[in-house]
Amino acid sequence: MKIVLDKNTILQPISKIVSITEKRSLMPILSNILIDFGKEGTTVYSTDLEVSAITYIDFATDIEKKVVVHGRKFLEILKELDNENIEFVFEDNVMTIKQKMTEISLSLQDPEEFPETKEISGKEEFVVPGSILLEMIDRVEFAVSVDETRYILTGMYMRGQDGKVAVVGTDGFRMALYQKEIDGLQSFPGMTVPKRSVSEVERVIEENEDVHIVVDEKHVQFSTEKMKIISRIIEGNFPDYENVLPAGNTNIAEVNRESFFKGLKKVSSIIGRSEPVKITFAGDSMMIEAESDIGRAKEIIDIKYDGEPATMNFNVKFLLDLVTHLVTDQIIIAAPKAYGAVLFHSKEVEGYKNIVMPIRI
C-alpha cells in the first residue's frame, strides 16, 4: 500500500500530540502513536493511559489502514524532510518514507496492542472561548503543587457556578484563584484536572477556538474542531478555596508592580531560588531585604500604605511567580495584623486573587 501526503498536512497535527507519548519503557507501546487512514479522513491517537489526544487530519484514502509508529522518531523525521509531498509505503510491519533521494524505514507495531482511546460523553457539557481558557490556565497553573503526598493538590480545580468559571491552583502554602464570567455558562460540579493534562490543553488549543468541555464521573474532555484532549479527573475533595481567602486583613499597601518586581529580582540575586526575603511596611515605604552567606541586599520602594508597621518573610519564588502573572500597574497587598495569609490582587483585574502564607523564622 502506498500513500502520498503533503508534509505540512501531517506535521502540525503530529507535533501537537507526540508530547503525550510515554517516555518511560514500562509499556513500550505507549511510545507510539496510532494513525488511522480512512475513507472519511485520517485520525491520529496518542496516550499514556492518563491523558490521551485525538487529532483529525483532512486526508482521505481509498484503502483503510491503521499504523502504529514510534511517535517522537516519526516527528523528527517529518521535521527534517522538505516542505513537499512525502510517499509512505507499507509492507508487512515496515513503513518506508520516501522523498526525492531520501528513504527511511520504520518498524511498525501491531495496532491491536495500542490502548483503546475513547471519546467521552457526559451529563455536563459547556463551552469556553479558547482565549479565556488559556488566560485562566496561565493565571493559576504556576501555583499547582508538584508534591504527590497531597495528590489532590497536583491538579487545577475547575468549577462553574452562577455564570462564572472558577479555576484554582494551590500547593498548601500559596493559592491562585481566577474567576471569570462567561455568557450562557451553565453550572457544573467542581473537578480537579491533573497538571500534566492542563499543560497539554494549554499547548494545543488556539485563542480563536471555542473549547467544548465534557465531564463524566471520572474523565474530562477538551475539544476543538480538530483536536480532543481526554484526561482522567483526580479523585478526592479539593480544599474549600473560598474559605481560605482572608476577609479581615486591615494592613493595606498599594505598590507599583514593576518597582516591586525589580526590587525582588535585585534582592534575590544573593539568595537561592526559594529562600526567604523580608518585607517591611512602614509609613509610605516598603523595604525588601535578603541575607545569605555571600552578603546582604536591600531595596526600598515608595508605596501607599494604610496600616500598622509590619514585617513578614516570604518565599521569594512565590512572590516572583504571582507578580509575573498579576498583570496590572498597581498591586494591592492586604496583610493581617497577626500571622496569617496575605492577599495580593488588583483593582484592574477583577476576579484574580493570590494568597501567600508568610514564613515563620
Q: Give the start-to-end residue ranges of the domains of the chain.
A: 2-113, 124-243, 245-356
- The secondary element (H helix, E strand) that includes residue 54 is strand 51-57
pLDDT tens, position by position, 31-82: 999 999 999 999 999 999 999 999 999 999 998 999 999 999 999 999 999 9
Please name the residues in contact with 211: beta carbons below 8 A apart, sequence gap of 6 or more. Answer: 127, 128, 129, 130, 133, 201, 205, 222, 223, 224
Average pLDDT, the chain: 93
pLDDT-derived band at 270 (thresholds 50, 70, 90) equals very high
Cβ-based neighbour number of residue 109 at 10 Å: 17
- Does 245-356 match 2-113 at the fold level? yes
Q: Is residue 88 within 8 Å of 2, Cβ to Cβ?
A: yes
> What is the per-residue pLDDT for 117?
87
Structure confidence by residue, pLDDT tens digits, 218-230: 999 999 999 999 9
Query: What topology does CATH give the domain 2-113?
Result: DNA Polymerase III; Chain A, domain 2 (3.10.150)
Residue 25 pLDDT > 70: no
pLDDT value, residue 26: 75
pLDDT score, position 347 = 85
C-alpha cell at 129: 472561548
The DSSP symbol for 201 reads: H
Q: Judge whether residue 133 has pLDDT over 80.
A: yes
Q: What is the DSSP secondary-structure string of 85-125? A: EEEEEEETTEEEEEETTEEEEEE-B-GGGSPP------SEE
Q: For residue 256, is pLDDT > 90?
A: yes
Q: Which residue has the cell 499504523?
A: 67
Nearest partner of 167 among 205, 226, 213, judged by Cα: 213
Query: Which amino acid, one-letter code, is at 171?
Result: D
- 12: how many CB neighbours lie within 10 A of its CB? 13
pTM equals: 0.90
Residue 124 has pLDDT above 80, yes or no: no
Q: What is the model's pLDDT at position 162?
A: 85
Secondary structure class of 168 (helix, strand, coil): strand
pLDDT band at 125 (very low <50, low <70, confident <90, very high): confident
**CATH fold group of domain 245-356:** DNA Polymerase III; Chain A, domain 2 (3.10.150)
Give the mean model confidence (pLDDT) for residues 106-110. Answer: 96
d(CA 352, CA 175): 11
Residue 24: its pLDDT value, please? 65
> Average pLDDT, stretch 151-157?
97
The per-residue DSSP string of 232-257 comes to EPPPSPPP-HHHHS-S---EEEEEEH
* pLDDT band for position 321 (cuts 50, 70, 90): very high
- Give, in order, the Cα–Cα distances in Å from 357 to each of 3, 313, 342: 59, 9, 6
Can you give the pLDDT at residue 110? 95
Topology of domain 124-243, CATH = DNA Polymerase III; Chain A, domain 2 (3.10.150)
The three cell numbers locating residue 260: 516591586
Percent of all residues in the chain with a pLDDT value above 70, rounded to a whole number: 99
Confidence of residue 123 (pLDDT cuts 50, 70, 90): low
Give residue-wise pLDDT tens across range 161-218.
888 999 999 999 999 999 999 888 878 889 999 999 999 999 999 999 999 999 888 9
